[in-house]
Structure 1
Amino acid sequence: MLGRKKKVPFRTAAEVDAMAAAGAIVGAALVAVRDAAKPGMSTLDLDEIAETVIREAGAIPSFKGYHGFPGSICSSVNDVVVHGIPTKDTVLAEGDLVSIDCGAILDGWHGDSAWTFGVGELLQADSDLSEATRLTLDAGIAAMVEGARLTDISHALEQATRAMETKFGRQFGIVSGYGGHGIGREMHLDPFLANEGKPNRGPLLVIGSTLAIEPMLTLGTTETSVLDDDWTVVTDDGSRAAHWEHTVVVTGDGPRILTTRP
């Protein structure tokens, strides 16, 4: 191929710091939500907490109104993988596995992050699932270095998932068709980042390249369906799912997480 290879979109140092300021607000909102997530709380209660944290920090919830989405968070419980709509009817109970995805806009820049946690004591399988997804995310982040190519991250995520199967002695499904994305002045930008695949393909990572990396694993199937609300994504076999995500930038000193949590 003639000419320079395509690059994953990159930001200046000042723009990266602006994204980190947005990301820190997302992190604070996630921590507040997890602290409040007790039996008897509804996911709408959690949504209101997240929105308050974001707005009091001078930011805007990026999810609210996004293609008509009604919430400031996606609250995905048990067999819901992603895009769960917060409602007063979804009330948390002991042993629920909860994934919260949250985004904020500050001075025009986006942060996007997600994590999974238990309400009270989790079954061992659910605990393993969340921890495996978290460690898989760590492996994807570690692959986000200058000179790598986009699918080197995808490959690292896939390899880490398989390593987690050995570590925990159980199989995990890599949710088909969903993945990470570019991020900056919009929440979702090209390129799409698959959570599995062959290495050494796609655009180059350069200093300042920013991506949201977000593995999603299940205790069963890789296949999902969208419910009639046109948002909620559930596992086809009813197995539980976990979702971990950080916004990350390539620096000269390695990957930097922009959605830090207090």
Structure 2
Amino acid sequence: MYAFDIERPATIADAVEALRTEEAQALGGGQTLIPTLKQRLAMPSKLVSLSGIGEMRGICRDDDGRVCLGGATTHSEVAAGVEGYTALASLAANIGDPAVRNRGTIGGSLANNDPSACYPAGALASGATIVTDRREIGSDNFFDGLFGTALDDGEIIVEVRFPVPERAAYVKFEQPASRFALVGVFVAKFSSGVRVAVTGASEEGVFRWSEAEAALSANFSADAMEGLNLDGSGMISDLHGSGAYRAHLVNVMTRRAVTSA
């Protein structure tokens, strides 16, 4: 590690002001940032901790029936506190291990947009709205390739609003040591149609599988997936599996998610 300053603001306004400092960086649960700092892959001069901002924590329902999660709400709090959206609570309950779940936050996960993280799939499949200190961003416009998002420098995720589908499930084929998804699929069925989001597979990060959405909107059953396949050439290939292997897993995990839902 190296020397840096840290601020612990108590309000969103104070955090925004602190992040205006050159080379300042927001710190959520630190589950990705702290290891990154240890490896000197990032070297901000100041960290602005968001964990003590009370207005960024908690779970509620808004007037439209959406599940609203404060950006600093931890995975364990989501797992235990979300009612009426079982698939989302289950997703949170299976992230990492207890230490990760007790520190990691939904805002930090979405802002980092790791290509194998679970929350991006949940947000994208749900059609969630990411609320920042400046604006509201629909999930279809939020994710931008590996580790990329629509967030500007110093912009903070203060809340995430999830429409609740009629049926939903998240299934992942996990790497046993890290519990990251080699492939994870979140399927959400709304009255307007089905949304399918895939994480862990593509070189471009989380994505919606439009062919599967069309098939499942017409027939919401695992049988509707028959004959649907993805091209392995655009998939991640590493020591855990080839691109073709991950492409095959996407179909398998989608079937399982539909059956579970």
TM exceeds 0.5?
Answer: no
TM-score by length of 2: 0.30
TM-score by length of 1: 0.30
